[in-house]
Amino acid sequence: MLKIPYGISDYKVLQEENYYYVDKTMYLEKLESVGKVLTYLRPGRYGKTLFTSMLSYYYDVNTKSEFKTLFKNTYVEKNPTKNKNNYYILKFDFLFFITSKKNEQEVEMEFIRKVADGIQKFNDTYKLNARTDYHDITPNGLLLEFLSYFRSLDLEHKLYILI
C-alpha cells in the first residue's frame, strides 16, 4: 500500500520509499516548449517544492544513472525529452526565509546567505570552487560572479537555475 506523503517535498524520497505520487512528468514536454525563463506561482501547500525537486532530479547530469529508478511508472519514463539529465542544477531554497522582526540590513544578509548556500551546495555537488564568501558583496554581485565563473569553466552542459 502506498503511503501518503504529507510534508515530504523531496521527489527521490517519494519514489524510493513508496509514497503516493500524482505524476506530473507529462508537463516536462510543455515546460521545455514554452520558453527559457519560467515562473511557477501557487499558494502554499500546492506542491511547488516537490515539483521543483522532480525537475532537479530529471534535468541533473548527476542523476542520469538513477533515471529508471526515479522515474519508474511515470509518463516521462517512456517519453523522455531531449533535455533529460542534461544540466548542472543550481538550486536556491528560500523556504525558511524569515523576514519578520528584522531590519532591512538583516533581511539582505539573510538573502545573501541563502544565495551563498545555494552556490556552496552546487560546489559540493559538482566538485567546483565558486566563491561563497559574501561579506563584501551584494546578492546580485555574488550571483553574477558565480555565473561568470561558471561560463569560464566551459563545461559540457548548461546551467539550470531552480528557485
Answer whether residue 58 shows pLDDT above 80: yes
Provide the β-strand partners of residue 89: 160
Answer whether residue 47 shows pLDDT above 80: no
Residue-level pLDDT at 138: 87
Rounded CA separation 27/49 (Å): 16
63-93 tens-digit pLDDT: 999 999 999 999 999 999 999 999 999 999 8
Average pLDDT over residues 27-32: 92
Contact 159, 88 (CB under 8 A): yes
Strand, helix or coil at 152? helix
Please count the CA atoms within 13 angstroms of the CA of 24 that sit on its side-chain side: 14
Nearest to 139 by CA among 107, 162, 102: 107
Answer whether residue 109 shows pLDDT above 90: no
| pLDDT confidence tier of residue 38, bands split at 50, 70 and 90 | confident
Pick 76 or 8 by higher pLDDT: 76
141-163 tens-digit pLDDT: 999 999 999 999 999 999 999 98
